[in-house]
Amino acid sequence: MNYYGAQELAASFRTVRKNTLVIAEDIGESHYGFRVTPDTRTVGQTLVHIARVCELQEHAHGVKRLTTLEGFDFMSFIGPMIADEQTPRTKEQIVALLRESGDRFSKWLDGLSDELLGERVTMMPGMTPPTKSRFEMILGVKEHEMHHRGQLMVMERLVGVVPHLTREFQALMATMAAAAKQ
């Protein structure tokens, strides 16, 4: 019995992307060029990276349906995506890219079968574990986005924005405190 399949994966990805979009909206366009250190991505570049990175899993598991990563040329696939992060875009364009890629990816997830998600893919030589399920690899998109969203929340703090999840938690705590006084 599988309690977490394609629909749950799609729903959880939609939640993660919804929160990323709130961050993208909360940060002013004037801060999209902000970077923590000279060798890190800017806010805008990080958001474009998040928007584009799901393409790798769609390609590997949807288009090519690879059974092994041995011989897969990651740099030919990832290189143009990394270069695209440098393309100047407005906040509006970046938010639209996040929405479009999130909608496309979550619809793709909705259509995956348990059989496909359960298939094993052989990793590149020397990687551990030597195989992973497609489910684990695709779940990595959500985990990757959450990693970068954590970075964006620190960036928000550095430019003077209180992250929305913190604001929501503070409001909940205030409501609970007020209710306790009654």
Cα 38 to Cα 35, 42, 81: the distances in Å are 7, 9, 20
Among 134, 142, 135, residue whose Cα is nearest residue 13:
142
Structural domain including 100 reads: 6-181
Residue 98's Cβ-count burial label (10 Å; 0-12, 13-18, 19+) is buried
Give the CATH number, domain containing residue 146.
1.20.120.450
Q: Reduced to 3 states, what is the DSSP secondary structure of residue 131?
A: strand
Phi-psi sector, 28: left (phi>0), alpha (psi -120 to 50), beta: beta
Q: Are 121 and 132 in contact (CB under 8 A)?
A: yes
Tell me the percentage of the chain whose pLDDT exceeds 70.
99
Q: Give CA separation, 139 vs 27, 76, 111, in Å.
A: 27, 23, 15
| Tally of CB atoms within 10 A around 120 | 14
What is the reported pTM?
0.94
Q: Which residues pair with 121 in a beta bridge?
A: 132
Domain for residue 142, yes or no?
A: yes
Task: Say how many domains are in the chain.
Answer: 1
Q: How does residue 2 score in pLDDT terms, banded at 50, 70 and 90?
A: low
Smallest CA-to-CA distance from 31 within 146, 170, 154, 144 is with 154
Give CA–CA dist 55/77, Å, rounded: 9
Name the average pLDDT for the chain. 97
- Is 31 part of any domain? yes
Residue 90 lies in a domain: yes
Any domain includes 154: yes
Q: Which residue has the tokens 């929340």?
A: 153
Residue 88 lies in a domain: yes
In a domain, 138, yes or no: yes
pLDDT band at 3 (very low <50, low <70, confident <90, very high): confident
pLDDT of residue 1 exceeding 70:
no
Q: Give residue-wise pLDDT tens across range 29-44.
A: 999 999 999 999 999 9
Per-residue pLDDT reduced to its tens digit, 30-85:
999 999 999 999 999 999 999 999 999 999 999 999 999 999 999 999 999 999 99
Q: Does 23 reside within a domain?
A: yes
**Any domain includes 1:** no
